[in-house]
Amino acid sequence: MSDHGFHVHGPHDHEIEHVAEHGSHDPAAGTIAVATAIIATVGALFSYMGGATQANAGLYKNDAAIKKTEASNQWNFYQSKSSKQNMAELASVLVADDKRPKYLDEVERYKKEKADIKLAAEKLEAEATEWDKKSGEQLHQHHRWAQATTALQVSIALAAMALLTKKRWLERGMFAVAGLGVVLGALAALHI
């Protein structure tokens, strides 16, 4: 045990230290290292975009819920006007003929108020549907960004294995999976 506690290296740490001290005899190592840095940078950008679209999806879903609540309030208001209209209709039948016009006027007023309330409620429901649609689109885009980010992370893992094992097929796999990640990122950017 040293003065600073335990220090455990993984196999890749030893390889990196060896290359740093003695240089690399593998010309592909530099290519893989640069490619890994580029892939990591692109992956960070994709990850940021994935987080942004996820946040947008949540905000849009919240806006949809607010609009649904407002629409529900309007429909409750509509129902209360219907109840009042029904009471006025009943009163117009039960009262003396000289009081009937007053209640018939109320019936007409409630009909007009209900029509305005119905329009407002339907408009709010349409807005809620539109916010839900936007939320779904953002969530789909988020999944594309997440898929792209995951592919790039797998590519970085393949790069580490290619450096350690010096296997060309792993290097080719790294580039293939990175290409897949870039394609998925392009699909996300194009909203596909």
The pLDDT tens digits for 62-119 are 999 999 999 999 999 999 999 999 999 999 999 999 999 999 999 999 999 999 999 9
Q: How far does the chain reach from its first CA to its final CA, in angstroms?
A: 55
The pLDDT tens digits for 122-180 are 999 999 999 999 999 999 999 999 999 999 999 999 999 998 888 999 999 999 999 99
